[in-house]
């Protein structure tokens, strides 16, 4: 089955594509795998946060980033929110942004 990737907004897409080169290379590699094998690559690459929200875990020498995403019917992956990790735990505020966006996307 063929998968496709969409973005919550063009602003988010630009933000992701402006990541430092190492993080961007990792993001592009992982999304290529998602297009081929589906949205759930398993740990350490992807992780379910419950309620249909998943995270793409990106790590390189420049740091660590997370891209929250969801899936929709028709094998479509929607990237919802990018967040650069600065601590061990993901701030609840970042998860709430992604959860609000998933509600918006699913009601369209």
Q: Is a pLDDT exceeding 70 seen at residue 96? A: yes
pLDDT per residue as tens digits for the range 31-72: 999 999 989 898 999 999 988 999 999 999 999 999 999 998
Structural domains in the chain plus CATH codes: 4-107 (3.30.2310.20)
Q: Which residue has the higher pLDDT, 97 or 73?
A: 97
Which has the closest alpha carbon to 58: 70, 36, 41, 77?
Answer: 41
pLDDT, averaged across the chain: 92
Place of tokens 């966006």: 101
Burial of residue 14 (CB within 10 Å: 0-12, 13-18, 19+) is exposed
pLDDT per residue as tens digits for the range 39-50: 989 899 999 998
Angle at CA 25, nearest 5°, toward 64 and 10?
A: 85
pTM of the predicted model as reported, rounded to 2 decimal places: 0.91
Tokens matching residue 29: 């590699």
- What is the number of H-type helices and E-type strands within the chain? 3, 5
Q: Is a pLDDT exceeding 70 seen at residue 1? A: no
At 89 the pLDDT is 86
């Amino acid at each position: 089955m063929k998968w496709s990737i969409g973005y919550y907004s063009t602003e988010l897409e630009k933000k992701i594509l402006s990541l430092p080169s190492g993080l961007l290379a990792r993001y592009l590699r992982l999304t290529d795998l998602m297009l081929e094998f589906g949205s759930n690559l398993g740990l350490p690459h992807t992780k379910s946060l419950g309620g249909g929200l998943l995270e793409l875990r990106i790590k390189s020498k420049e740091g660590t980033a997370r891209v929250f995403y969801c899936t929709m019917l028709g094998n479509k992956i929607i990237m919802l929110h990018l967040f650069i990790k600065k601590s061990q735990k993901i701030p609840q505020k970042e998860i709430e942004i992604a959860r609000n966006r998933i509600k918006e996307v699913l009601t369209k």
